[in-house]
Amino acid sequence: MADAIRTMRAKDVIAAKLASCYATIDGNRYLLMQAKSLEAKVEKDKQEVAILGRTGKGHKTVSWNGTGSMTIYNNTSMFTKLLKTYKDTGQDFYFDIQITNEDPTSDAGRQTIILKDCNLDSGVIAAFDADGDWLEQDVDFTFEDFEMPEEFNQLDGMQ
């Protein structure tokens, strides 16, 4: 008799809204409660490798690049002030973003990622929309490193 197929329990899906997000700028930690969404990803740079005795090429990762984007409600001057400082002084700014995902219903527990040395690509400094509901802005950024001080638990049945 074959083993029964194991499937994930619905309760173990992580609710997307149950997260926290903090920015550390110049040693000060701020709750980014105006963040609506955030996605950070690592893009690997691969080079083709010709291999003797094979008709197909292999691929070797040679570097990576950290990029991210977030949508925030435009009700803070935090990022605008950083852009103004850069405009006025030429001194660029780097900061960390900490994201924790934790759904108390899920046995997965919590995961925390810290994006190190984030740097904005651009920022909206003024906006209005006479036909809109609220002000939002999309913010693209890069990051130089990341840490994972907490990782999700391995769910029952994964191994």
Q: Does pTM surpass 0.85?
A: yes
Pairing of strands 136-143, 110-120: antiparallel
Q: Along the 159 residues of the chain, how does pLDDT read in single tens digits? A: 556 678 889 999 999 999 999 999 999 999 998 999 999 999 999 999 999 999 999 999 999 999 999 999 999 999 999 999 999 999 999 999 999 999 999 999 999 999 999 999 999 999 999 999 999 999 999 999 999 999 999 998 887
> Distance of alpha carbon 37 from its chain centroid, rounded?
9
The phi, psi pair for 64, rounded to 5°, reads -145, 165
Q: Which domain holds residue 85?
A: 14-150
Has residue 159 been placed in a domain? no
How open is the CA angle 35-39-42, to the nearest 5 degrees? 145
Q: How many domains does the chain have?
A: 1
Has residue 105 been placed in a domain? yes
Has residue 155 been placed in a domain? no
- The CATH number for 132's domain is 2.30.110.40
Has residue 158 been placed in a domain? no
Q: 123 — alpha (psi -120 to 50), left (phi > 0) or beta?
A: beta
Q: What is the pLDDT of residue 7?
A: 87
Has residue 7 been placed in a domain? no
Can you tell me which residue has the tokens 């090429």? 57
